[in-house]
Amino acid sequence: MPPKVLLIEPSAKLRGTFIGALKRRGLAVQAASSATEALATTEDFCPDFLIADYDMGDEPASVAVRELRQRHPGMVVLLTSDAFATKQTIGSITLLPKPSEPRALLDLLRRAVTADSLWLVRRAS
């Protein structure tokens, strides 16, 4: 069973690009344009990873992260933003500069996972 990624990206163009890149690597991807849509999506989809845009306008990523963490406690959380200049870690959440191309997204995913979940990304490569 391939690793499952929930992608929350408000930009339709980036969302489509990232979905394609993740699927080509063998990952199962469910995508949403908002926190509300993502929460509805996970009723049938149990993600191993959450990649979310931190700056989603009126719906902050923190809303989705809090609820999704309750539903899926082992999920690895990666938040991206143009506001983050470098990788930062706050507790168990990794904050990353927003990638502008698929290769950068895949590289961030590989580098940001914890040692326990690294095998998931290696299996998908």
Q: Number of folded domains in the chain?
A: 1
Share of the chain above pLDDT 90, in %: 12
Per-residue confidence (pLDDT) for residue 112, from 0 to 100: 54
End-to-end CA distance of the chain: 13
Which residue range forms the structural domain that includes residue 14? 4-124
| Bridge pairing between strands 88-90 and 93-97 | antiparallel
Residue 39 burial (10 A CB sphere; 0-12, 13-18, 19+): middle
- pTM of the entire structure? 0.78
Which of 31-35, 84-88, 95-99, 119-123 is predicted with the least confidence, judged by mean pLDDT? 119-123
Distance CA 15, CA 25 (A): 16
Predicted local confidence at residue 30, as pLDDT = 94
Kindly indicate the confidence band of residue 32, based on its pLDDT and cuts at 50, 70 and 90.
very high
CATH number of the domain residue 107 falls in: 3.40.50.2300
What is the per-residue pLDDT across 77-118, written as a single tens digit (0 to 9) for each?
888 877 777 777 766 676 777 766 777 777 767 765 543 444
Query: What SS3 class is residue 68?
Result: helix
